[in-house]
Amino acid sequence: MSLFSLDDSPLATLEADVLVVGVVPAESGAALAEGHGLPEQAAAHLTAVLPSLGATGKVDDVHTVPLVPGIAATKVVLTGLAPALGKDQSVTEFGIRAGAGAALRQIGAAGRVVVALPARETSWVGAAALGAHLGSYAFTAFKSDRETAKGGGKDAASKPGPAGRRVTTLVVHVDDADAPAKASIARAEVVAEATAWVRDLVNTPPNVLYPESFVDAVRDQIKSNHVKLDVAVHDHKALAEMGCGGIVGVGQGSSRGPRIMELHHRPRHAAAHVAYVGKGITFDTGGLCLKPSAAMLGMKSDMAGAAAVAAAVIAAARLKLPVAVSGYLCLAENMPSSTAQRPSDVVTMRNGTTVEIIDTDAEGRMVLGDGLCLAVESGADAILDIATLTGACIIALGPRVAGVMSNDEDVNTRVFAAANAAGEAMWPLPLPEDLRPKLDSQVADLQHKGDLWGGTLTAGLFLREFVARSEGDPVPWAHLDIAGPSFNETAPYGSTPKGGTGFGMATLLAFAEQAGGHR
């Protein structure tokens, strides 16, 4: 069953519990956005009440007006479409998405909602649908209902639930429900479901989501989406035999062994081959270098990179992209125990590089290193890794912007083109050669961490060591540090909820689409 439907009937006749209409900044405070499609009587009424509402027309400024004359909808929700900050107040595709998301967040639970926002470009239709769906997202898998005993039923923590949505029916109003509009909606449906699933995985508690159950959740998602992917799963024993000492070392402190799960979308006559490697630390205590308790609370989200990779590969298969897309999910639990990895241990990575462990809380780069080696061996034309890697990146760029490091100018350009298409904020960071000596070790080929300064950059330099082919030539590669934007610890905004955000999936998908000549 489709998430959305299109309707090009006159707005006056559309029955709905809620009609969402856009507003923009004006001299008087706010005005209805051009092309609203409202009948004259309804438009006049809303224009008259806007000043008394104190509306600004900016994203996250939302107001409800009941019983508007001239329309069949029970109430109208007015949502701002202009950026909240900056001098440029023009409406964009991403203002449409954020405005729709903010409206649906305020609406909460509802039956039928009609979203009637400007659609100057065909892609804006999909943006309105995507924002509305993500704004209505709710993670309810572990909420007990009124008839369930306090604390949940006996099966409350058995497995992650499906993506929740607080609205029963979402209708996007358009001037013409033609083929391009339908195509935009169809793509939005794939992106919305994939993003919501990433949020579900990130929000799932770590006693439920661990390496083995993560693999099961991905298998279930592949099956429910009826896509054909080549899948391989390497358990702890297999990883040791494969020489993947990085991920084996990280996972050896847990009773739940590590996994690397490979997903491959392999269309015939593929135009290109891209590979994604995702950090999947299902819970990060820091290992023997134990985190403070307050810093540990959000560490169920340390697998957001792997979740984004899994969702992007499945979405690529759903969209039947003519490009080969491989995903490597590097799954482990970083726990302290008598078998846990120690600072000063030396491990051997998949490519034969020996690495001295400096800090067991810098585990993400170790699991990614092995995953990157496997991605190189796949023969991919370009490799992206994505990870909640360093707190230093949050200090540098804040909680809403990802950092990007790359060894290839073309791939770097393509990553930012994909991020712009996806509406995800990213910023370029360097790989300074003068910092590389910080990774020199007295006892091994490398140590996996430098000192305090430039921690995000030395992490990128470490990962760069694992993207060379056997003959020494580097594979075009970029590293996406999503430590900040993958998990929202503050108030929701736009179409972004508190908790897991799903950040990064849309950029990975857009990168694959561009490699195949789409988007």
- Residue 476 corresponds to which tokens in the numbers above? 């075009």
**17 is written with which tokens?**
């519990």
Element (H, E) at 128: helix 122-135
Query: What CA–CA distances, in Å, run from 122 to 95, 129, 173, 177?
Result: 15, 12, 12, 11
Question: Which one from 166, 291, 400, 519 is the annotated catalytic residue?
Answer: 291
Are 106 and 134 in contact by the 8 Å Cβ rule? The answer is no
The tally of CA atoms less than 13 A away on the side-chain side of residue 325 is: 29
Element (H, E) at 426: strand 426-428
Active site residue 291: yes
Which distant-in-sequence residues (6+ apart) come within 8 Å of 324 by Cβ?
264, 265, 266, 267, 270, 272, 273, 274, 380
Q: Give the CA angle between residues 373, 379, 384 to the nearest 5°.
A: 60
Handedness of CA 186, 192, 193, 195 (dihedral sign): positive
Phi then psi dihedrals of residue 140, to 5 deg: -120, 15
Q: At what angle do helices 122-135 and 179-203 cross, to 10 degrees?
A: 30
Q: How far apart are CA 332 and CA 280, in angstroms?
A: 6
CA distance 10 to 14: 7
CA distance 405 to 415: 10
The rounded Cα 437 to chain-centroid distance in angstroms is 33
Q: Do 247 and 295 meet the contact criterion of CB atoms below 8 Å apart?
A: no
Residue written as token pair 């950059």: 457
Please answer whether residues 285 and 296 qualify as being in contact, where contact means their C-beta atoms are separated by less than 8 angstroms.
yes
Measured CA distances, 268 to 321, 323, 324, 418 (Å): 10, 9, 9, 24
DSSP annotation string for 76-90: EEEEE-B-SSSS---
User: Are 460 and 412 in contact, with CB atoms under 8 Å apart?
Assistant: no
Active site residue 166: no
Among residues 365, 414, 449, 464, the one annotated as catalytic is: 365
Residues with a known catalytic role: 291, 365
